[in-house]
């Protein structure tokens, strides 16, 4: 093997390792979200919408 | 190969790392199979007809009624929370109305509300529902009001502010220690949110709940007022609100009227033009006066407007422009 071919092989192998590591890091890192997706169903009980609305007891 | 399905919620400064099947600190943003989902979208647990003064907003359409909604959950866990039954509740334990954004805007239109308030808990945790509804409401000429602790990251905050007309934002204290100990949060992001809101051009009013022994020292109040004056401007209305023993803070007494009066005096000494007292009956603490000629502009008793002399957004005597949205 010539010196040039040896350097080529080392470079290719090095790049493959870097690419693999990058892929692993990306997969292992948590997915980031600002906006969340909706859900089809509410997890609690659902009540009927009223016709009139009163003043709340809550602050704000 | 096993790939982790952890997600990170970047909505608020808590930046929760959420494992599959778990929720963030707010209880309503859940990791389902590696996707962040909001379980309260379109499901408000509270829908009410409130006077705008109750938010409190004193410089935004005074005397108007506002359709006010909230979902379960909150990203803060204030020991003194007055709405803890819904803010610190799990959605599965909190009954809710099925009311997607389109329906909510339709109700507001049918019942002739000029604005919708996203309030009671914190609209930050039902961000997507707030944003989508506010966008539709704006298209229908209905205004949008946030009542919030302002604990949100800058990017989503800027986006939300584009569809909002007014906000009452809490500045709960002026030290990191207070925010850490009482609210399980930090001060800086709230200050950033306040500055961004004011710079965005929406109407901003600030509320500070004064809690005996925790944030009622004259020097703390003075520092808070100075911060508001320097960073938000002297025209920003500031509401000092009375504390009542609630939730995990039942051992402290209610705030005295004297403390609230002193806070008002300090705020005015520091150059704030519109300072109010809330959660308590006071003779003049809810009135608006012209900062220049001191004329009474709006007389309020609790949530009722007794007199409103503001003319085209100005003082009728000296012509001073009064900060606010008046029609």
Interface pTM, i.e. ipTM = 0.91
**Prediction pTM value:** 0.94
Confidence of residue A1 (pLDDT cuts 50, 70, 90): confident
Going B67 to B73 to B78 to B81, the CA torsion angle's sign is: positive
B226 to B53, B168, B220, B236: CA distances (angstroms): 25, 18, 10, 12
Residue B4 has pLDDT above 80, yes or no: no
Cα angle B19, B10, B120 (rounded to 5 degrees) comes to 95
Residue from B157, B184, B151 nearest B13 by CA:
B151
**Partner B contacted by A25 (CB < 8 A):** no
Torsion of CA B42, B12, B120, B222, to 10 degrees: -160
Instruction: Name the band, by pLDDT with cuts 50, 70 and 90, for residue B283.
Output: confident
List the single residue in A30, A49, A58 with the smallest CB-CB distance to B46. A58
Per-residue CA distances from B145 to A45, B176, B202, B311, B325 (Å): 27, 27, 10, 23, 12
Determine, for residues A44 and B97 on separate chains, whether the beta-carbon distance falls below 8 Å.
no
Q: Calculate mean pLDDT across residues B168-195.
A: 98
Over residues B246-268, the pLDDT tens digits come to 999 999 999 999 999 999 999 99
Backbone Cα Rg of chain A: 29
CA diameter of chain A: 87
Asked if B93 and A44 touch (Cβ cutoff 8 Å), the reply is yes
Whether B97 and A38 lie within 8 Å, measured CB to CB: no
Q: Contacts of residue A58 in chain B, CB cutoff 8 Å?
A: 46, 48, 70, 82-83, 86, 119-120
* Set of chain A residues whose Cβ sits within 8 Å of the Cβ of B157: none
> Two tokens at B5?
């399905």
Place of tokens 């008046």: B326
Query: Is the pLDDT assigned to residue A25 strictly greater than 90?
Result: no
> Judging by beta carbons within 10 Å of its beta carbon (0-12, 13-18, 19+), is residue B223 exposed, middle or buried?
middle
């Amino acid at each position: 093997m010539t010196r040039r071919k040896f350097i080529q092989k080392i470079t290719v192998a090095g790049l493959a390792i870097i690419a693999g590591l990058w892929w692993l890091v990306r997969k292992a890192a948590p997915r980031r979200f600002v906006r969340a997706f909706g859900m089809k169903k509410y997890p609690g009980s659902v009540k009927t919408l009223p016709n009139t609305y009163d003043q709340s007891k809550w602050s704000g | 190969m096993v790939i982790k399905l952890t997600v990170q919620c970047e909505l608020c400064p808590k930046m929760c790392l959420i494992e599959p099947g778990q929720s963030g600190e707010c209880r309503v943003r859940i990791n389902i199979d590696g996707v962040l989902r909001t379980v309260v979208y379109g499901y408000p647990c509270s829908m009410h007809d409130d006077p705008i003064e109750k938010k409190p907003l004193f410089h935004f359409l005074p005397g108007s009624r506002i359709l006010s909604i909230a979902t379960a959950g909150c990203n803060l866990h204030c020991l003194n929370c007055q709405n803890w039954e819904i803010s610190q509740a799990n959605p599965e334990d909190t009954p809710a109305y099925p009311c997607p954004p389109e329906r909510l805007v339709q109700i507001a239109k049918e019942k002739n509300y000029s604005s919708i308030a996203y309030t009671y808990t914190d609209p930050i945790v039902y961000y997507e529902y707030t944003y989508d509804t506010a966008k539709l409401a704006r298209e229908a000429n209905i205004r949008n009001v946030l009542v919030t602790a302002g604990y949100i990251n800058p990017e989503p905050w800027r986006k939300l502010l584009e569809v909002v007309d007014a906000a009452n934002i809490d500045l709960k204290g002026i030290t990191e220690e207070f925010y850490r100990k009482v609210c399980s949060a930090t001060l800086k992001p709230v200050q950033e949110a306040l500055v961004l809101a004011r710079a965005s051009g929406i109407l901003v009013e600030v509320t500070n709940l004064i809690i005996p022994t925790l944030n009622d020292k004259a020097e703390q109040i003075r520092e808070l007022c100075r911060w508001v004056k320097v960073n938000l401007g002297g025209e920003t209305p500031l509401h000092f609100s009375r504390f009542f023993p609630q939730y995990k803070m039942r051992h402290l007494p209610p705030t005295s009227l004297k403390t609230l009066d002193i806070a008002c005096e300090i705020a005015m000494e520091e150059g704030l033009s519109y300072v109010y007292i809330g959660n308590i009956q006071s003779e003049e603490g809810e009135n608006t006066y012209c900062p220049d000629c001191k004329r009474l502009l709006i007389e309020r008793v609790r949530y009722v407007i007794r007199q409103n002399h503001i003319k085209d957004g100005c003082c009728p005597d000296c012509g001073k422009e009064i900060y606010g949205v008046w029609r």
